[in-house]
Amino acid sequence: MRPEMDSNRAYWDEATEFHARGNVYGIEDFKGGSCRLHRVEVEEVGDVHGKSLLHLQCHFGIDTLSWARRGARVTGVDYSAKAIALGRALSAELGIAAEFVQSDIYELRDTLAGAARFDIVYASYGVLNWLPDLTGWAQVIAHFLRPGGFFYIAEAHPTARMFPLDQDLAKVGAFRPFISYFHDPAGIAWPPEPDYADESALHQVGPHEWQHSLADIVGALIGAGLVIEWLHEFPYCSWKVVAGCEIVERFSEAHAYYARPASEPQLPLMFSIRARKP
């Protein structure tokens, strides 16, 4: 594994500890029965009842378990040991059947060697920026789909990633692009920062992220043999992905869509793709 990915894994172990506290990530709401999914993925993935669903980069599985509550047979994968332990604990405590697997997704074909193929491979919200290589990512997706099954992703738009977050605004000096739209294999090393879900919690480890253009994402999926059914773009996202966002749709206390003020020209802040294995 690349050293940056090792330090990112440590970052996600830290983040899991922060997210396990109280209701910062909506755990208490979820225990009370609320669904952690957002409107777009629920509408676009459709009925999952009885379907097998592989959730890549599932964090501690609150979305994975939400799909299970909607009737899917779920497997969540994440490389953070702490995240997987918390997912298993939540599954046991709430009596929601789910399998959680600790693995780097790039090693998943070995970790889950011999596993059955899935009806749906799913990933969402804050996943691609942790991956240095989308060709390998898409090959893993294609490998685990059964013929006729589909991949779905809802994710921050790469255009949004070019703009500063609230905490970067003073440093950048204005709301303008300060990161290239295009992929740089070296990625970007950020200093340790407050956690995105709990700004009172400070990380010790700085994240290392990679930007991927929309063409890189679509091209990787096509290159792995999948057929793109559609690509959608939205002026909102499930977190404050750029500075100056406000809530435009609330699902629960810790769980909403955020957009730039309606009085301003709108940027694409999120996209979704459905791609099918022939």
Contact residue for ligand SAM among 41, 78, 99, 209 (CB under 6 A)? 78
Contact residue for ligand SAM among 14, 29, 41, 63 (CB under 6 A)? 63
| DSSP classification of residue 176 | S
| Tokens found for residue 203 | 């990380």
Query: Judged by CB under 6 A, does residue 130 bind ligand SAM?
Result: yes
Q: Which is nearer to ligand SAM, 102 or 159 (CB)?
A: 102
Query: Judged by CB under 6 A, does residue 83 bind ligand SAM?
Result: yes
Residues 218-237 interacting with ligand SAM (rule: CB under 6 A):
none
How far apart, in Å, are the Cα atoms of 28 and each of 55, 59, 182? 22, 17, 39
Dist CA 196 CA 202 (whole Å): 10
Query: Judged by CB under 6 A, does residue 59 bind ligand SAM?
Result: yes
Query: Judged by CB under 6 A, does residue 125 bind ligand SAM?
Result: yes
Dist CA 177 CA 101 (whole Å): 37
The SS3 assignment for 147 reads strand
| Tokens found for residue 178 | 């300060």
Query: Judged by CB under 6 A, does residue 134 bind ligand SAM?
Result: no
Query: Judged by CB under 6 A, does residue 272 bind ligand SAM?
Result: no
CB 108, CB 136: distance < 8 Å: no
Query: Judged by CB under 6 A, does residue 12 bind ligand SAM?
Result: yes
CA dihedral 225, 219, 47, 115 (to 10 degrees): 50
The SS3 assignment for 98 reads coil
Q: Which is nearer to ligand SAM, 23 or 264 (CB)?
A: 23
How far apart, in Å, are the Cα atoms of 126 and each of 57, 59, 240? 9, 10, 11
Q: Which is nearer to ligand SAM, 52 or 238 (CB)?
A: 238
Q: How far is the CB of 93 from ligand SAM (least distance, A)?
A: 17
Contact residue for ligand SAM among 17, 28, 44, 104 (CB under 6 A)? 104
Contact residue for ligand SAM among 34, 69, 126, 178 (CB under 6 A)? 126
Task: Report the interface residues with ligand SAM, using CB under 6 A.
Answer: 12, 57, 59, 62-63, 78-80, 83, 104-106, 124-127, 130
